[in-house]
């Protein structure tokens, strides 16, 4: 299929240039082909987010590359998300501080403020206006 051919072309470009970006639209046919091919990726191909390629050093592709090695078994090409470790130990958050922040957040929310304004006007009875009609 065309999708499979384009995917293989992206793999060839990645080998030749050091990286390649392939964009696939979420059509059922595209998703089906990608689900089949993603676990058959060659060992030298890794899927990454496009943003991770922004600061990558450029690879010299002017010389012929090494021939790819034989694939033994399918592998999962996805990397896990890296966790940022804090430089200093985090200070504990006590329950009293937690509930006070939550309480402040709720009382300042637009919904609660709206209800407060509505409630303040509900108990008040408007004073009758004295209307005097002059008759001549």
3-class DSSP assignment, residue 83 = coil
Q: Any idea what the Cα angle at residue 133 is, between residues 132 and 136, rounded to 5°? A: 135
C-alpha–C-alpha distance, residues 41 and 73, integer Å: 10
pLDDT digits (tens, 9 = 90+) for 68-94: 666 666 667 676 667 778 788 888 888
Report the predicted TM-score, pTM, of the whole model to 2 decimal places.
Answer: 0.39
**pLDDT, tens only, 102-111:** 999 999 898 8
């Amino acid at each position: 299929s065309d999708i499979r051919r384009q995917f293989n072309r992206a793999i060839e470009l990645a080998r030749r240039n050091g990286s390649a970006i392939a964009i696939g639209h979420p059509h059922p046919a595209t998703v089906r082909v990608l689900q089949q091919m993603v676990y058959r990726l060659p060992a030298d191909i890794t899927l990454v987010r496009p943003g991770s390629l922004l600061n990558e050093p450029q690879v010299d592709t002017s010389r012929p590359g090494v021939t790819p090695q034989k694939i033994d078994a399918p592998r999962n090409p996805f990397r896990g998300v890296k966790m940022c470790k804090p430089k200093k130990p985090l200070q504990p958050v006590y329950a009293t501080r937690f509930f006070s922040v939550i309480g402040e957040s709720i009382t300042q929310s637009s919904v609660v403020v709206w209800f407060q304004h509505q409630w303040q006007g509900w108990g008040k009875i408007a004073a009758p206006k004295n209307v005097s009609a002059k008759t001549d």
